[in-house]
């Protein structure tokens, strides 16, 4: 199950968190999400952190990358 959520960080900044992806594809998936959403980000401890609120768009991009829609949950 891939979970997409939004969190508020220091100084009022928002980040979109993507958890539940395989460790092997984490680096490449992070690159593709950053490129598609035109935002910065990183991956730490198996979680992708993207700058800004992009929950709906992340789901669309993950589906285009070949992930199944039934496995993606926005919370």
pLDDT tens for each residue of 48-66:
999 999 999 999 999 999 9
Confidence of residue 24 (pLDDT cuts 50, 70, 90): confident
Whether pTM exceeds 0.85 = yes
- Find the DSSP H helices in the chain: 26-37, 55-64
- H or E segment to which residue 38 belongs: none
Q: Are strands 14-19 and 2-8 parallel, antiparallel or unpaired?
A: antiparallel
Q: Which one is the CATH code of 2-74: 1.10.3710.10, 3.30.780.10, 3.40.190.10, 3.40.50.300?
A: 3.30.780.10
Q: Residue ranges per domain, the chain?
A: 2-74
């Amino acid at each position: 199950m891939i979970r997409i959520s939004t969190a508020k960080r220091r100084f009022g900044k928002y980040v979109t968190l993507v958890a539940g992806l395989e460790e092997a594809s984490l680096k490449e998936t992070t690159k593709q999400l950053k490129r598609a959403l035109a935002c910065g980000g990183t991956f730490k401890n198996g979680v992708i952190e993207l700058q800004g609120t992009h929950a709906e768009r992340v789901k669309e991009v993950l589906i285009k990358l070949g992930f199944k829609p039934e496995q993606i949950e926005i919370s």
